[in-house]
Amino acid sequence: MGSMSAWEALLLGIVEGLTEFLPVSSTGHLTLLFHLLGLPVEEDAFLKTFLIAIQLGAILAILLLYGRRFLSDPALWLRVGVAFLPTGAMGFLLYPFIKGEVLGNDRVVVLALFGVGLLLLLADRLAQRARYRDALELPWAGLLLIGFFQGLAALVPGTSRSGATILGGLLVGLSRKGAAEFSFLLALPTMLIAVGYDLLKSAPEVVEGGWGLLGFGFLAALLTALFTVRAMLALVEQVGFTPFALYRMALALVYGYFFLR
């Protein structure tokens, strides 16, 4: 298990909850934290599973915050389902490559952090001319494009699932709040299926004591994400996504300086 301790599992869960729904790349932050803690995520199968599994805590936060709206609106189900189609197809076909070759790759993380940060910085200006307040107003082609962006994020660690879907939402004319909220809702099927599939395949690799560490990370991610989602919506309505874009680019430079030399 990479000699992970309980406090390290809690810390990683907190970082997951803070970053999963911000457009800053939770995987990029967690990969960096694994390095700082001296945990060999690139070689250890359990640590890779932990990196994916604690996302369940973050997704439960979305169920608690948005479950009533999601369950009471069949039109919203349909739109989330349509947007999920490209993501599901890309993830299913390329899962072995993602888990085996891409996850934990420092160079990929740094390039994705900086590149998506730059794109998000440019796209945020489009929100001033947003045509749609909510995903329920989007045309079907716009939904598919957002799903395609999310699929790309699944392929490239450091891209940020939420960052990619928000970027896609802004490009098709969604408002800042609309893009953020649809990113949260689209996370429900995406993360539940991806994490569930990974746990089914990886359960034999979780040795005695591993489930307890997963539980610590899960709980920390849940409680932290409940706070983060509410705070993010308030922030993006006031200042937009520019601070997140600049933060991503600065983090990429720091990350690259220390770990790619």
pLDDT tens profile 138-170: 999 999 999 999 988 877 777 888 999 999 999
**pLDDT score of 230 more than 80:** yes
- Grade residue 117 by pLDDT with cuts at 50, 70 and 90: very high
What is the pTM (predicted TM-score) of this model?
Answer: 0.86
CA atoms within 13 A on the CB side of 70: 17
Query: Across the chain, what does the average pLDDT equal?
Result: 86
Span 4-20, pLDDT tens digits? 888 999 999 999 999 99
Contacts for 200 with CB less than 8 Å, ≥ 6 apart: none
Q: Is the pLDDT of residue 48 over 60?
A: yes
Q: Please report which confidence band the pLDDT of residue 100 belongs to, taking 50, 70 and 90 as the band edges.
A: low
> Cβ-count burial of 85 within 10 angstroms (0-12 exposed, 13-18 middle, 19+ buried)?
middle
